Amino acid sequence: MSMNNQGRPTRAGEASGPELGTISGDRGLDHEEPLIFELGRPGHSGVDISDVQVSDARLGGFKRRAPIGLPGLSEPEVVRHYVRLSRMNYAIDSGLYPLGSCTMKHNPRLNEAMARLPGFADVHPLQPQKTVQGALTLIGELMRWLTTLTGMPAVAMSPKAGAHGELCGMLAIRAAIAAKGERRPRVLVPESAHGTNPATAAFAGFTVDEIPAKGDGHVDVAALKAKLGSDVGAVMLTNPNTCGLFEKPIREIADAVHAAGAYFYCDGANFNAIAGRVRPGDLGVDAMHINLHKTFSTPHGGGGPGAGPVVLSERLAPFAPLPLLVHDAEGFRLIEDRAELPEGARPFGRMSAFHGQMGMFVRALAYMLSHGADGIRQASEDAVLSANYILASLKDVMSAPFGDGPCMHEALFDDSFLEGTGVTTLDFAKAMIDEGYHPMTMYFPLVVHGAMLIEPTESESKESLDRFIHVLRGLAAEAKAGDVERFQGAPRFTPRRRLDETAAARKPVLRWKQPELKRAAE
């Protein structure tokens, strides 16, 4: 990789001297965009402000004594900066997003319109409860849908995302164990579970004991049963698992766990594959989080916003966290005070200051109401159909470790088809970027070497899937034909060429400093 005179990595065929592509640093309409701090100039602003002099006395000693480092730009410059940055993003609105285990589905604009309705968009968490009866009614209706779809009697709405929901479920389990006067410090977690599962168990104070996977990608039920004992508090199982497979003996596992006096936590991040098809409560599940921002289409990515309600079995329902939403003669209300708790309620505490994510609740319920129960079932079936179409269309040119049988909502491939080519999983993913696609999830799950996990979701048409399949088949053929440079030099058509990911992880630059301040700090 070479650098042009703007310090920008050059592309294949791009001159590195002054002849081409170095006057502006741009390449056609692909603009070179500096940081907004580098664009700003002192004295510039989006508005004209009169030169008003205010005395120190009137400011109470808070008059600014030095520049605060904010960039100065006109309004068009600010708008153009962020529009240009947005063009560098890949989004579900611009193309298929094949990330496995992430459910990057289309978010219907109807959901957005509902979330922006007055009373929902403007609701404040500190409003008197009598002024937010509409919002509380919506939460109550969403709770009814969630308990109906899962076959579970109770749901905690306050967790903010999947891992937060996992913590809620595990804290409820810990409280239930303590209420019985037992000591059960161990939690069993299969290799095929999501990585947050063991992290959550450890954070909740449990010791994690790993359960191996069999050669077919499923949990080893015999090994799990062998580790059950009076010191086991719970099993945390992801189903469908991260290999994209449904754990068929789930009822057998649940019965064995309950016979040992333990609880069954199911990771519901992949509920998108089974919603409307099967109720987790019928499978013996005691607690399961539901990612509203995945299964029910609300915006996903960029760290949020998210929502991770947790459905609870009859055994765990009394330990649901505060606040509790109840309905009485006066309407809906949130119980915040333990002195007002209904009989039998023994909440373990609370998960957050306020009751959930209102915008996510509105979007999720809008999705549910617009689809109906039959539509939700069809969405799950279509997601599974799309993934199996991907698997069947690619397994003759890309190696599928568990390709003999059908998958669920995601198709899993490994890197054995690249053996001897000099091309790695990372190289293959970078080449996908040059073809206009965001890479699939790479190197996960860990039980498969060089994993490539693809989740097309029900949002994609057959034509969209066919284009994606065509690209991957072409890349597989080029790799096997020995065109190593095609891959190791990728991506070529991005604002930046391939970065040093190791250096980025070990020596991240997390803030911008003005040049003079940077020199002073050094």
For the stretch 138-173, pLDDT in tens is 999 999 999 999 999 999 999 998 999 999 999 999
Q: Which two three-digit tokens encode residue 265?
A: 């936590």
| Strand duo 154-156 + 310-312: pairing | antiparallel
∠ Cα 303 308 310 (to 5°): 160
Q: What is the pLDDT of residue 494?
A: 87
**Residues 69-88, mean pLDDT to the nearest whole number:** 90
Residue with tokens 């993003």: 89
- Band (pLDDT 50/70/90 cuts) for residue 18 is very low
Look at the pTM and tell me if it is higher than 0.75: yes
Instruction: Between 69 and 283, name the one with better pLDDT.
Output: 283
Q: Does residue 301 register a pLDDT over 90?
A: no
Per-residue pLDDT at 214 exceeds 70: yes
Q: Which of 445, 452, 435 is nearest to 487 (CA)?
A: 435
pLDDT band at 2; cut points 50, 70, 90: very low
Please tell me which residue, 10 or 194, carries the higher pLDDT value. Answer: 194
Tokens of 343: 């009989």
Of 147 and 18, the structure prediction assigns the larger pLDDT to 147
Q: Name the more confident of 209 and 329.
A: 209
Beta carbons within 8 Å of 297's beta carbon, 6+ residues apart: 105, 106, 107, 108, 111, 363, 364, 367
Which sign, positive or negative, has the C-alpha torsion 90, 92, 96, 102?
positive
Q: Model confidence over 374-419: pLDDT tens digits? A: 999 999 999 999 999 999 999 999 999 998 889 999 999 999 999 9
Query: What percentage of the chain carries pLDDT values higher than 70?
Result: 93
Is 50 exceeded by the pLDDT of residue 17?
Answer: no
pLDDT at 354 over 90: no
Average pLDDT over residues 280-305: 85
| CATH number at 136-365 | 3.40.640.10
Instruction: Give the separation between CA 407 and CA 240, rounded to whole angstroms.
Output: 9
Whole-angstrom Cα distance, residue 218 to residue 318?
Answer: 33
493 vs 188, higher pLDDT: 188
Burial of 361 (0-12, 13-18, 19+ CB in 10 A): buried
Extract the tokens encoding 208.
Answer: 């994690």
DSSP run (H or E) holding 422: none
Per-residue confidence (pLDDT) for residue 50, from 0 to 100: 76
For residue 432, what pLDDT is reported? 96
Q: Where are the alpha helices (DSSP H) in 162-268?
A: 162-179, 196-203, 221-227, 250-259
Domain extent listing, the chain: 136-365, 373-506
Structure token digits, residue 260: 């040992």
What would the 3-class secondary structure string for 27-49 be? ECCECCCCCHHHHCCCCCCCCCC
Structure confidence by residue, pLDDT tens digits, 440-491: 999 999 889 999 999 999 999 999 999 999 999 999 999 999 999 999 999 9
- At 447 the three-state DSSP class reads coil
The per-residue pLDDT of the chain, averaged, comes to 89
Fold topology of 373-506: Aspartate Aminotransferase, domain 1 (3.90.1150)
Question: pLDDT at position 308, please?
Answer: 92
Q: Output the CA angle 289-90-293, nearest 5 degrees.
A: 15
Name the nearest CA neighbour of 194 among 264, 257, 136, 268.
268
So what's the pLDDT on residue 394?
A: 97
Amino acid 191 reads E
Q: Which residue has the higher pLDDT, 28 or 334?
A: 334
pLDDT band per the 50, 70, 90 thresholds, residue 194: confident
Tokens 């945390």 sit at which residue? 236
Encoding tokens for residue 393?
Answer: 């269309």
* Residue 13 scores a pLDDT above 50: no
254: pLDDT strictly greater than 60 = yes
pLDDT for 253 beyond 70 = yes
Q: In degrees, to the nearest 5, what angle opens at C-alpha 373 toward C-alphas 368 and 379?
A: 75
What are the residue ranges of helices labelled H in 180-235? 196-203, 221-227
Beta strands in 181-231 (DSSP E): 186-190, 207-211
- Give the tens place of pLDDT for each residue, 40-65: 888 788 887 777 777 878 888 888 88
Mean pLDDT of 250-272: 96
- Round to whole Å and give the CA distance between 37 and 73: 9
| pLDDT at residue 233, rounded to an integer | 98
pLDDT, position 238: 94
Residue type, 465: L
Q: Quick one: average pLDDT of 102-112?
A: 89
| Strand partners for 99 | 454
Q: Give the Cα separation of 457 and 460 in Å (integer).
A: 7
| pLDDT in the model for residue 44 | 82
pLDDT in tens, 322-338: 999 998 888 899 998 89
